[in-house]
Structure 1
């Protein structure tokens, strides 16, 4: 039996994906939102974790090196990422997670089932459309720490909240955001979030 964990912020999408994968008798499927991702991953110890990096909270959870990132990116669990070929920045970010599988969200349901099987067997699966999008994408100009700060800022966290979550001084958080604003060519923090979301970096 292959244990599959689906992480998605939208309950309806989680339920639909779970229903699809549960149609396979060899899959034991569990789903969760990002706030409970770490606890579910630690309890279930899934063979395959399916994630959508476009979900609110996903970037912040996976980029800060915290409990959720450690649980979801555990080397013992094979990661399968859902991505859209129309957002090259998101596709590049997906490749940076060192996932084993990459499925185009515009693909067929059967393709996802096939991908989970392949990834569970330790084989790489990459939709051709996503590989093409990756080749077209530009490198992300921000460091991992800058992305962590930006992702949490985009989620609405205050400087103090980000500092506590990332174990940084408040002044350091402000310095990171200033660097983000400069590197993205933004006018201010809000503009930096807009530019980064459009590029698919957060």
Structure 2
């Protein structure tokens, strides 16, 4: 029996995936999480062997969760299942230690086959997405720049971003300026939008 954990902040999506997978004779959903920061503990409690991770979750996103699991639970297989089909996410998923990448509009049979494949040690790599990820330049943003840009995307003032990260306003402005330059945009909102489109945040 393949034990699966699903991490997705959308309750309906998570429930639908669990119901679908539990119809298979050799797959059992043993845990569900609404955010990446719940995954490690849920893995320890459930003994799941395959983790399905959404990319965008509120506190700890799927790509960062995958990086952490690579170190803390190296035996667990990770499959990124996301709405956002972006070359940057595809590249980052495999760099973070994922064994596969699927979009949520994939046929159910494809998801089931992907779980069986990664569980057995294989990879799930779509050739077209792989080629696009090679053609897309790698993420030029530092981890702090990504963090600040993600907060800036909401339009909040610099002082609020600075307070939430325990940084000075000047430091936040410097990081935003660097991110704007690296994304070749004219302001932080454009920089955040470009970074999201590229799959960098």
TM-score tier (shorter): 0.7 to 0.9
TM-score, normalised with respect to structure 2? 0.78
8 Å contact kept, 1:5–1:49: yes
Calculate the aligned-residue CA RMSD, in Å.
Answer: 3.0
2:26 maps to 26
TM-score, normalised with respect to structure 1? 0.78
8 Å contact kept, 1:104–1:127: no
8 Å contact kept, 2:87–2:136: yes
Paired positions, count = 193
1:4 maps to 4
Which one has more relative contact order, counting CA pairs under 8 Å at least 6 apart?
A: 1
Structure 2: any 5+ residue segments left out of the alignment? none
1:166 maps to none
Higher mean Cα deviation, 152-161 or 78-87? Answer: 152-161
Q: Quick one: structure 1 residues 87 and 32, their matched pair in 2 at CA, closer, same or farther if it must change by over 3 Å?
A: same
8 Å contact kept, 1:45–1:77: no
8 Å contact kept, 2:81–2:101: yes
2:38 maps to 37
8 Å contact kept, 1:6–1:49: yes
SS of 2:24's equivalent in the other structure is: coil
Q: Which has the larger radius of gyration?
A: 2
Q: Quick one: structure 1 residues 12 and 35, their matched pair in 2 at CA, closer, same or farther if it must change by over 3 Å?
A: same
Give a deviation string over 1:39-88, Cα, whole Å, max 9, x none: 423433421111121x243765644x8xx853476322211112468522
Q: Quick one: structure 1 residues 187 and 198, their matched pair in 2 at CA, closer, same or farther if it must change by over 3 Å?
A: same
2:121 maps to 122
